Amino acid sequence: MFMHAVGHMVACNIDSSSRCECLHGFQPKNLNAWSNLNFTEGCVPVTELNCSDKDGFMKQSNKKLPDTQHSQYNFSLNLRDCERKCLENCSCTAYANTNVTGKGSGCLLWFRGLIDIRDQERTGQDFYVRVAASGSGANSSSRARRIALVVVLPLVSILTVVLGCYMWRASKYRTQIAEGEPIENEVDYGKEDLPFFDFRTITNATNNFSYNCKIGEGGFGPVYKGILEDGKEIAVKRRSTCSTQGVEEFRNEVSCIAKLQHRNLVRLLGWSATEEGERMLVYEYMPNKSLDYFIFGDNENKASLDWPKRYNIINGIVKGILYLHEDSRLRVIHRDLKASNILLDYHMNPRISDFGMARSFGDSETISSTARVVGTYGYMSPEYAIDGSFSIKSDVYSFGVLVIEIVSGKRNRFFTHSDHNLNLMGHAWTCYKEDRLSELIDASILESSDQDEAFRIIQIGLLCVQQYPEDRPNMSSVLMMLTSKVALPHPKQPGFFAERKLDEADTSRSMLDLSLSNQTVTTVAPR
């Protein structure tokens, strides 16, 4: 039961018939072509639209929703509000609920022609197509209902609803602040600019979420490679039923990244959600996987990422974080910077991804705190992991850990050395103090590296992981140090610099499989 985009306002069911039919209220644009089973020119309204408040909407039942490439959505509108919003825009051609079953709230609006419509008796949805009021079957009572809503409803009822909503939102706002959750108006930020992908489109693109299409998995859930009908490659992040991350992280990712445009940030193409709890994010596809695949992989993978490429990746990460901290519309703190969240495009340029834990600050804000600590062990700054206090300097610390991992090819967490029981930051600090930095450089890149340049990068990394936030540089200073020959200050001791007891290190290793050492975690920190 499939025919791809044969025309505008056309519904096809080739299982039961070789013909396509115009939607109710429409007629073939070219009758001669239509009689010869050529449906490509589509259908036009029986009565021409004149964009007035007399236009109505024709209900289309049991249909697959049209292609959503030229659509917008708003979770906060009910179906009647959705109708009114569509009527106010001359370019709006149809509207529907956002969920799969067609029940409940949420508004999905279409603009331009409607394509890829199919009959679906069992799983189809209802949607409403704009027609002139005098057209066949038009909803002539639409305008009357709108007038009644404005005139007849008692003013006291409106005031009661407004007051009730205000009190509910105020209570929710206080609760979210206390729990460190994103605020609803912050969640809605930028949502209108992202297209909605219906569930069936994503299912088809990923071959029904085939195991062969799976390219990774994180704290939110599995990630699949998909190919849309137009050949465009996408990456689909699907929330797992056992994920500790939920609706708030999903909405937070949409709100934080929707308005962010930078060459070193991954691009979010759209979203999908169903009444049954499905939550999916659709990204541009990154063919070269994530950074951890190379720097923590086998010798062949490590060698393929020579020093010039690693330097370019570090430089790109700096620019991406600087944009988040200082140049974007809102100051964004990522809170989960790590090697697996740095994706690589076709040219091995880095793209920062996974904004589910991110928080945005106003211009006057510099620091915040939460009792719900999220992130990844080994990358968290001391003040955040212990006290739940985070700022842009928390990201700087994570970046410093990442830099030393890139140069050394070793993970900070579970790092071992035959001469001591320090973690990677402790080992780097020891090598710096004892003028043995060459020991820290990944053996696979020794020949391709400029050692003086690598030593300078390590020192910058150590400046970023200093114990106290006020000692760490901001990202604009890091970029200047990275791209110039300015003299570098001597770093102080890193945070979390302590020698581990051997038996404790072994116990930790036995309790946590190494494959999970890079997972995002959520903990409640003692205050």
Which sequence positions are flagged as catalytic?
Answer: 336
Rounded CA-CA distance 333/325 in Å is: 7
For 66-88, what is the HEC assignment?
CCCCCEEEECCCCHHHHHHHHHC
DSSP lists the bridge partners of residue 234 as: 226, 284
User: From the CB of residue 176, how many other CB atoms can be counted at a distance below 10 Å?
Assistant: 16
How long, in residues, is the chain?
A: 527
DSSP 288-323: T-BHHHHHTS-HHHHHHS-HHHHHHHHHHHHHHHHI
Tokens, residue 209? 């979420």
Dihedral sign of CA atoms 30, 33, 35, 37 in order: negative
Phi, psi of 5 (to 5 degrees): 45, 50
Rounded CA-CA distance 265/271 in Å is: 17
Rounded CA-CA distance 118/13 in Å is: 6
Question: Under the phi-then-psi rule, with left for phi > 0, alpha for psi from -120 to 50, and beta for the rest, what region is 491?
Answer: beta
Q: Half-sphere exposure of residue 391, counting CA atoms within 13 Å on the CB side?
A: 17
Phi, psi of 474 (to 5 degrees): -85, 175
Q: Cβ neighbours of residue 255 under 8 Å, at least 6 residues apart?
A: 182, 186, 187, 188, 189, 190, 191
Tokens, residue 6? 């044969």
Rounded CA-CA distance 191/196 in Å is: 10
Q: Using alpha carbons, select from 242, 187, 243 the residue that is nearest to residue 220.
A: 243
User: From the CB of residue 19, how many other CB atoms can be counted at a distance below 10 Å?
Assistant: 11
Rounded CA-CA distance 401/152 in Å is: 64
Question: Which residue bears the tokens 């000692």?
Answer: 471
Rounded CA-CA distance 404/316 in Å is: 15
Q: Yes or no: say if 361 and 333 are a contact pair by the CB < 8 Å rule.
A: yes
Distance linking the first and last C-alpha atoms of the chain: 58
Phi, psi of 370 (to 5 degrees): -155, 150
